[in-house]
Structure 1
Amino acid sequence: MRIIGIDPGTGILGFGVIDVNGGRMRLVTAGVITTPAHTPLPDRLEEIYSGLTDIIKETRPDAMSVEKLFFTKNITTAISVAEARGVAILTGRQAKLPIHEYTPNEIKKSITGYGAAKKPQIQEMVRIQLGLQEVPKPDDCADALAAALTHAFMSRIEA
């Protein structure tokens, strides 16, 4: 199974694609889609859509795993990130991908075994699970890979 994980964001949207074969997981590709600050939001959302469409066409995943939003402070940021998340989900649906959503705590717990794990712990476990030499950078990329790994783990449990 090939899974694309998404860490939603308007300025930086992380993505990570992994292959899962039995208990083995392998990195296919990962990175970020960035949009320039002070660009009108519709233009930024279009860049996200175009970038993700290309990535999905190139990598041909079987499923999409998206981090759910959790915000407590800045409502303006939450709204724009939610819009980017919506674009990512729509892009996945247009590609006929099943969409799986996980909260930040679910991702932390599945990756580290602890729902309140800190970012460095999650990044190190992503590195270990995928057999990488270094922690994926930037953080958004590592978070997207964590979302993809979470779906891989959850799929095994459901099976």
Structure 2
Amino acid sequence: MKMRVLGLDPGTATFGWGVVDAGGARPVHVAHGALRTAATLTLGERLTTLRDGLTSLIDQHKPERIAIERIFSQSNVQSAVAIGAVRGVALLIAADHKIEVVEATPSEMKRAIAGEGRATKAAVTKAIT
């Protein structure tokens, strides 16, 4: 059974995303990109920009599930708080759209896509394309 999944790599400056159709032998790439915000914006302005961009992605791609990276280790507390705020916005949007959310560490996501938790970005790209 095919399922469209929107994968999210949250960040305040660069918020990565990718859409795949899963359910076959391998995920099939649909689209990918990044939502970007300027460093000159306040955190609130960045969250608003990301909210609008993520809502647009959901409206365009109509995912049935969202996979989002968990914060697994962060030595910079200020950065961790900002990423937590971005994740909160993404989780709220998913709830508003009644989309199931799966949370995973980066290595868990890499293992699910490329078969190896330490896969490079090139290996993940190759597994999808």
Distance of aligned partners of 1:112 and 1:39 in 2 relative to their CA distance in 1, 3 Å threshold: same
How far does residue 113 in structure 1 lie from its aligned partner after superposition?
A: 4.5
Identity of paired residues, percent?
Answer: 35
Cα deviation for residue 103 of structure 1 reads 1.4
1:125 aligns with 2:101: no
Q: Is the 8 A contact 1:111 1:122 kept in 2?
A: no
Within 5 Å, give how 1:120-159 maps onto structure 2: 121-131=119-129
Q: How large is the RMSD of aligned CA atoms in angstroms?
A: 1.6
- Residue in 1 aligned with 2:69? 67
Q: Matched residue of 1:16: which SS?
A: strand
Alignment check: 8 A CA contact 2:47 2:89 kept? yes
Output the CA distance in 2 between the equivalents of 1:110 and 1:18: 12
Contact 1:4 1:16 in 2 (8 A): yes
- Choose the corresponding residue for 1:27, options 26, 29, 46: 29
Give the one of 89, 94, 105 matched to 1:103: 105
TM-score, length-normalised on structure 1?
0.73
Give the whole-Å Cα distance in 2 for the aligned partners of 1:90 and 1:101: 14
Among 78, 82, 95, the alignment partner of 2:84 is: 82
Superposition deviation, residue 21 in structure 1: 4.1
How far is 1:40 from its partner?
Answer: 0.9
Deviation at 1:114, TM superposition (A): 4.4
Question: What is the SS of the residue equivalent to 1:93?
Answer: helix
* 1:9–1:81 contact (8 Å) kept in structure 2: yes
Q: Give the 3 Å change call, closer, same or farther, for CA 70–40 of structure 1 in structure 2.
A: same
Query: Is the Cα contact below 8 Å between 1:111 and 1:125 reproduced in 2?
Result: no
Distance 1:103 1:45, change over 3 A: same
Deviation at 1:24, TM superposition (A): 3.8
Higher helix residue share: 1
Distance 2:86 2:74 in 1: 18
Which of 1, 4, 7 does residue 2 from structure 1 map onto?
Answer: 4
SS in 2 for 1:4: strand
Query: How many residues were matched structurally?
Result: 127
Local SS of the residue matching 2:73: coil
Deviations 1:115-149 (A, max 9, x none): 4x2xxx33122222222xxxxxxxxxxxxxxxxxx
Number of the residue aligned with 1:37: 39
Q: Is the 8 A contact 1:7 1:67 kept in 2?
A: yes
